[in-house]
Structures are given as structure tokens and as C-alpha cells.
């Protein structure tokens, strides 16, 4: 192995990257765009959902209930209408996620001691949102209901009694339940998949496609020197982008970072080896830039997006999919990221994630190395 030759290949690769606008964009701009996109654009929080209200009575009591809906940060009373049909239209065209109907005898029946029902019409096209809405609406109505009960007891001279059981909740790790804190660390896995696998798959297959590989392999440069020389620049750029993304997450999105930077670096390096090896392997097999880059995205970016637990919780997937996630390296990396960002889990406790990641890195690097020969056939 000659360092001169390895560096010669690496230097040439850097020139390719510097002169190729597409590669440069992917290395410099894409990480920032992905961070902002997922940090701002993808919000799993439901806040300020528009509701239409049909208050058939318009009494003091019905207004009190509506005020409670207004006061909740989850709802926004977009409009007060005067017919069922108006609510139906609003749900149809998406101007409202929920319609609330307060009956004409609302206050009378409250006076008589109830029971009284308010109607909530919910847009069920997105079942997750619908469930959350129903939960929020019930909580608001429940709160109002308790207040009415307390007022009644007080008026009748009875002692105030606190609710017999109540839950005192406190959320750990992501205290404000900000979805950006949940999502943003996982973006690192996406960025690395693109840089490591996508860009790498292009660079090797380009040598085959343009015919330069033929002349390259006729020189004394070894297969290992070609591979390491080609991958070294992407490794450095990938690690650099991880640092940029982590900085954006911490400084811009105020995602807490509670773990060790060394663990971040180690796990990122391991994952980088995984994606570089996959990208290299694919481009050796495919030998065309288009095919290689498509395959690279399908086997790294897509799983990192869908099956890593980055956006969708693995525990909620069908059992078969849960098994499949075990062979997705991104799953272990995302798991490490979430733990060191939010939980501050000690490195020693991350074995269940770091060990599989290291095994993937070693195995895939070996596969990549063995796949490449200085031969045309």
C-alpha cells in the first residue's frame, strides 16, 4: 500500500467534487436544506386546528364553553356558522378539521342538572389527527363539565371536594414535547446516506462509464488504494456535514445535547463506513451512474427515512417490519442519535446499538473491498 498513490486518488477525487456543481450542492447545501425542512416543515405537533362552531343557543353558558375551546392552544375557532350544512361544507373542503355543535337547549338542560350533549364532527381522513382532536375536545369539555359541577356544589352550600384521582404528568427527555427535538437528530442519518452512498456510487460508476477505469487499473495502483483514496474525501465531507447538522440542531433548533461528543463522532464514523461501503459496492456491481445512484438511494436513503425510527416509531410498526428494521443499519444509528441528544445515555449503555453498527461497518467494508477487482471481467 502506497500513501502517495492513495493520496493521489484522494486529491483527484477532491478536484472532481470541487468542479462538479451537483456534488458541491449535495455536500454544502443539502444538509442545511434537509435540516430546515425537517426542523420546520415536518411537525408532528397539532396546534391551532381550525374548528367551525354552530352555536344553536348563543347563551352565556354556550359562550363559556366556546371560550374554553378558544383558550386551548390546540384549537382555533375559525368561524361561527348557523347551519349544519355550513359545517359540512367546511369539513369537505378542509377549512375545518372539526365542527362543534352546541344544542339549542344547552343552558336549560345544564340548569336541570343535565345530561347534555355537544356534538363534535371530526374529519377522519387522517386518523392520527382525528384521534388527537377527539382527545383534546373531550379534555376541554371535561374541564368545562367539572367547572359546572363545582359551581353547582358551591351554590348549594356544599364543601368543595377535589377530584378523587388525578394524574400528574411530567415528560422526560423532550420536556416541551417539541417534535423538532424528536426529528432533527435523525436527519443526520439521511444526510450521511446521501453523501456516503449516493455520491460515492456516482463517483466509482463514473469511472466505469467514462472509460477512465480501464486506464486506471492498468497502473500499479492497488484496488485497496483506489477504494480508500476514493472514499476518503467523502468520509471527511460526511463527518464535516454531521458536525454542521449537529451544530444547527443544537444552536438553531435548541435540541438538547446531553450525551458525549465522542460517542457522536464514533457512531457517525461507523455509520459513515456503512454507507460508504454500500455506495462503493453498488457502484462496482452496477457500473452505470444512473443505476448505481438509484440503487444506492433505495438501499440507504429510503430505509433511513422509513424504517430507522427517524419519523415513524419502530414499536408501532407491524411485527414483520419491526424484524426488517433489525437489518437496517440506520436504525441503530438513529437510535444512538436520539439517545445521546435527548437522553444523554452513557456510552456504556449504548452497546445494543453500537455493537450492531460496528458489525455492519466491518462486514460491509469487507464486502465492498472484496467486490472490487482490477479487472474488466
Q: How far is the CB of 5 from other proteins (least distance, A)?
A: 5
- Cα of first residue to Cα of last residue in the chain, in angstroms, is 24
- Do the Cβ atoms of 360 and 274 come closer than 8 Å? yes
Q: Which stretch binds other proteins (CB under 8 A): 4-12, 155-163, 173-181, 268-276?
A: 4-12
Position 2 contacts other proteins (CB under 8 A): yes
3-state secondary structure of 99: strand
- Kindly state the cell numbers that stand for 9: 486518488
Measured from the CB atom, is 210 or 258 closer to other proteins? 210
Q: How far is the CB of 126 from other proteins (least distance, A)?
A: 48
Among 68, 79, 89, 374, indicate the residue that binds other proteins (CB under 8 A): 374
Long-range contacts of 136-142 (CB under 8 A, 24+ apart): 136/46, 136/72, 136/74, 136/75, 137/69, 137/75, 137/98, 137/100, 140/68, 140/69, 140/72, 140/75, 141/65
Q: How far is the CB of 19 from other proteins (least distance, A)?
A: 5
**Which H/E stretch holds residue 371?**
helix 351-371
- Do the Cβ atoms of 365 and 273 come closer than 8 Å? yes
Measured from the CB atom, is 263 or 293 closer to other proteins? 293
Q: How far is the CB of 293 from other proteins (least distance, A)?
A: 18
3-state secondary structure of 282: helix
Position 1 contacts other proteins (CB under 8 A): no
Measured from the CB atom, is 150 or 223 closer to other proteins? 223
Of the candidates 155, 186, 188, 222, the residue with the CA atom closest to the CA atom of residue 313: 186
Q: Which stretch binds other proteins (CB under 8 A): 3-11, 122-130, 150-158, 168-176?
A: 3-11
Measured from the CB atom, is 19 or 170 closer to other proteins? 19
Q: How far is the CB of 178 from other proteins (least distance, A)?
A: 44
Q: Which stretch binds other proteins (CB under 8 A): 10-18, 140-148, 289-297, 364-372?
A: 10-18
**Which H/E stretch holds residue 141?**
helix 127-155
- Do the Cβ atoms of 198 and 290 come closer than 8 Å? no
Q: How far is the CB of 24 from other proteins (least distance, A)?
A: 12
Contact set for other proteins, span 191-230 (CB under 8 A)? 210-212, 214-222
Contact set for other proteins, span 23-42 (CB under 8 A)? none
Q: How many CB atoms lie within 10 A of CB 29?
A: 10
Measured from the CB atom, is 155 or 377 closer to other proteins? 377
Measured from the CB atom, is 65 or 221 closer to other proteins? 221
Q: How far is the CB of 26 from other proteins (least distance, A)?
A: 16
Number of residues that bind other proteins (CB under 8 A): 28
Place of cell 460526511: 238
Tell me the Ramachandran region of residue 113: left when phi exceeds 0, alpha when psi lies from -120 to 50, beta otherwise. left
Of the candidates 226, 221, 332, 210, the residue with the CA atom closest to the CA atom of residue 271: 332
Place of cell 453498488: 282
Q: Describe the crossing of helices 223-247 and 3-19 by its angle, rounded to 10 degrees.
A: 50
Position 16 contacts other proteins (CB under 8 A): yes
Position 287 contacts other proteins (CB under 8 A): no
Of the candidates 21, 2, 1, 12, the residue with the CA atom closest to the CA atom of residue 232: 12
- Kindly state the cell numbers that stand for 362: 466491518
Q: How far is the CB of 16 from other proteins (least distance, A)?
A: 6
Q: How far is the CB of 20 from other proteins (least distance, A)?
A: 7
Site for other proteins, rule CB under 8 A: 2, 4-5, 7-9, 11-12, 15-16, 19-20, 210-212, 214-222, 374-377
Amino acid at each position: 500500500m502506497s500513501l502517495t498513490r492513495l493520496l493521489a486518488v484522494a486529491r483527484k477525487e477532491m478536484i472532481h467534487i470541487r468542479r462538479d456543481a451537483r456534488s458541491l450542492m449535495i455536500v454544502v447545501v443539502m444538509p442545511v436544506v434537509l435540516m430546515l425542512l425537517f426542523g420546520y416543515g415536518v411537525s408532528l405537533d397539532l396546534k391551532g386546528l381550525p374548528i367551525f362552531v354552530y352555536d344553536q343557543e348563543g347563551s352565556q353558558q354556550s359562550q363559556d364553553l366556546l371560550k374554553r375551546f378558544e383558550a386551548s392552544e390546540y384549537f382555533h375557532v375559525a368561524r361561527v356558522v348557523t347551519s349544519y350544512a355550513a359545517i359540512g361544507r367546511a369539513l369537505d373542503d378542509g377549512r375545518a378539521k372539526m365542527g362543534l355543535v352546541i344544542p339549542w337547549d344547552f343552558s336549560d338542560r345544564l340548569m336541570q342538572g343535565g345530561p347534555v350533549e355537544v356534538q363534535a364532527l371530526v374529519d377522519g381522513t387522517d386518523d392520527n389527527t382525528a384521534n388527537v382532536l377527539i382527545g383534546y375536545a373531550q379534555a376541554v369539555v371535561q374541564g368545562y363539565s367539572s367547572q359546572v359541577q363545582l359551581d353547582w356544589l358551591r351554590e348549594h352550600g356544599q364543601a368543595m371536594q377535589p377530584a378523587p384521582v388525578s394524574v400528574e404528568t411530567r415528560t422526560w427527555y423532550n420536556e416541551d414535547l417539541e417534535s423538532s427535538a424528536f426529528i432533527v437528530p435523525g436527519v443526520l442519518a439521511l444526510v450521511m446516506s446521501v453523501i456516503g452512498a449516493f455520491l460515492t456510487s456516482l463517483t466509482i460508476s463514473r469511472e466505469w462509464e467514462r472509460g477512465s477505469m480501464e486506464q486506471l487499473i492498468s497502473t500499479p495502483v492497488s484496488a485497496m488504494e483506489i477504494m480508500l483514496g476514493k472514499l476518503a474525501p467523502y468520509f471527511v465531507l460526511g463527518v464535516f456535514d454531521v458536525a454542521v447538522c449537529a451544530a444547527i440542531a443544537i444552536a438553531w433548533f435548541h435540541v438538547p445535547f446531553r450525551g458525549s461528543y465522542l460517542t457522536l463522532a464514533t457512531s457517525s464514523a461507523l455509520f459513515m463506513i456503512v454507507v460508504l461501503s454500500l455506495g462503493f459496492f453498488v457502484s462496482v456491481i452496477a457500473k452505470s451512474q444512473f443505476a448505481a445512484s438509484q440503487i444506492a438511494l433505495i438501499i440507504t436513503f429510503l430505509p433511513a427515512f422509513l424504517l430507522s425510527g427517524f419519523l415513524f416509531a419502530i414499536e408501532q410498526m407491524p411485527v414483520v417490519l419491526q424484524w426488517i428494521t433489525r437489518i437496517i443499519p440506520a436504525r441503530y444509528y438513529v437510535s444512538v442519535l436520539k439517545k445521546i441528544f435527548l437522553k444523554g445515555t452513557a456510552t456504556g449503555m449504548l452497546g445494543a446499538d453500537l455493537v450492531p453498527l460496528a458489525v455492519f461497518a466491518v462486514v460491509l467494508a469487507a464486502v465492498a473491498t472484496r467486490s472490487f477487482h482490477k479487472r474488466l471481467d
